[in-house]
Amino acid sequence: MQLSGKTAVVTGGGSGIGLAIAQALVDEGCAVLICGRGQPRLDEALATRPSAARFVAHSVDVSDRESVGELFRAAGEQLGNIDILVNSAGINVPKRMIGNLAPEDWDRMIGIIATGSYNCTREVLPAMRERGDGLIINISSASGKRAGPLGGVGYNAAKFAQSALGISVGAEAAADSVRVTNIYPGEVDTPILEDRPTPVSDEHRAQILKAEDVAAAVLMVVGLPPRARVPELVIMPTGQEYI
């Protein structure tokens, strides 16, 4: 297994893309801590890999710096040095246009997606730079490259901020051999689709990406040698326009 001896923290790891990434990492021998706000969902996620040697969970609010500090103290105790951070926590809301987006929903999206990625990156980066090794992967979105009505103003803005964070940190940390990758998926069949203003049909779900497709992209990035850096990677459903 190519990741034996490696460790990872995956935010938003209780479901959807985060869970698929965590499962893929565990299957390759990585010790993984998943985190999210709901402990019952995290427990269900852990049960998908009952024989994993080190697959653990910790509840967290990534928008809260104190909570994130507690998360990484626990991660250090359970896993040791963190080799890989995957920022995958994210939300959206049905009322997402500028005319009906509630200010508190704007704050939640910015807090979880953008500030949450900053908070977690800030925790792992100093040790990675000191060791001269580490990988941070931000699960952004096509909405973080092309703002449009599908994502909505708050989600688009949060994903653009997350994307800029990743590019900026990647440029700063490259000299210390720390790699940062932004992955921009198009439409993915995950629970976040339940927050669309218009229900998504089973036929449409069948035509878009699956969470395991994004996980496969993560494994590709993780499996590259330290000399190779992938700043940005876009993965789209075959039938979705990228304009």
- What tens digit of pLDDT does each residue of 26-46 get? 999 999 999 999 999 999 999
Tens-digit pLDDT profile for residues 55-69: 999 999 999 999 999
Please state the pTM of the whole predicted model.
0.97
CATH number of 7-230: 3.40.50.720
pLDDT at residue 243 is higher than 80: no
Torsion angle of C-alpha atoms 212, 206, 106, 58, degrees rounded to 10:
-30
- Alpha helices by DSSP H, listed for the chain, are 16-27, 39-46, 65-79, 103-109, 116-131, 153-173, 202-207, 211-223
CA dist 15 and 216 (Å) reads: 16
Give residues with Cβ within 8 angstroms of 42, minimum separation 6: 13, 14, 34, 35, 36, 57, 58, 59
Strand, coil or helix: 51: coil
pLDDT at residue 121 is higher than 90: yes
The yes-or-no answer on residue 155 being catalytic is yes
Task: Check 118, 155, 184, 242 and give the catalytic one.
Answer: 155
Tens-digit pLDDT profile for residues 185-203: 999 999 999 999 999 999 9
